[in-house]
Amino acid sequence: MTLITPLSMPSGAKDQVFEIQRVDYLAPEARGRIGGVTAGFPLWKMTCTLGTLTVAQSDQWRAFVSAQRGAQRLFMAFDIGRKMPRNYQAGFPSGFSGQASGWSQSIDGNNFAILTLTGLPAGLSLVTGDYVQFSWGTFQRALVRLVESATVDGTGKLSATIEPAVPALVPPSALASLAQPCCLMKLTSDTKLGPVGRRGAIESGTIDAIQDLRP
């Protein structure tokens, strides 16, 4: 059997930070106003802490980190609390794969990005914190998070505010999906695996990764 790249993250992490990273240049003023600009565009950043693992999980993580070859390879990173939308952790209504038939994005007057998905089953209810994945090409991925709850209307359409906005490089032909949403990341040099204890499993470790967004 050969491994298929990009690999997916193993399970068993103790905790995870999966948030949007922005680089801001702030200019606070004495009168209380905070000016500033954001340098560049936002990316997803992930930090997982490894705690007590089973021997099998420990082996999986060690194999995963070594197969990544430092920052050479991409892997599929996801929010371990939201592999599926919150209301559908056990699976979607029968006959729905999680994939929307179309998508579009508009920017409203407050600079919020509004994502519209079509071709979803009527009544499907997504909540704040659910993710939408965009996939195109061989394995390219982009990921956005809903920042408000929304329900699919009778025509199969859903509109919700997302963060970050769908990057401009995502082609209109990309497929939008709600099932197992993930993005491509690379490990950073902050990734460290701890020592293996008497149980035969690593006892600590940090997996640190940043999104690698590429066309």
Q: Which residues bind other proteins (CB under 8 A)?
A: 23, 34-43, 105, 107, 111-113, 164-165, 167-169, 189, 213-215
Q: Give the distance, in angstroms, between the CA of residue 209 and the centroid of all CA atoms in the same chain.
A: 11
Pairing type for strands 205-211 and 183-187 reads antiparallel
* Residue (199 or 214) nearer to other proteins, CB: 214
Least Å distance between CB 47 and other proteins? 19
CB nearer other proteins, residue 35 or residue 93: 35
Count the neighbouring beta carbons within 10 Å of the beta carbon of residue 140. Answer: 18
Please state the closest distance from residue 204 (CB atom) to other proteins, in A: 21
H helix or E strand, kind and range, residue 57? helix 55-68
Q: How far is the CB of 37 from other proteins (least distance, A)?
A: 5
Min dist CB 114 to other proteins, Å, is 10
Of 158 and 162, nearer to other proteins (C-beta) is: 162
**Cβ proximity of 147 and 161 under 8 Å:** yes
Place of tokens 């519209």: 116
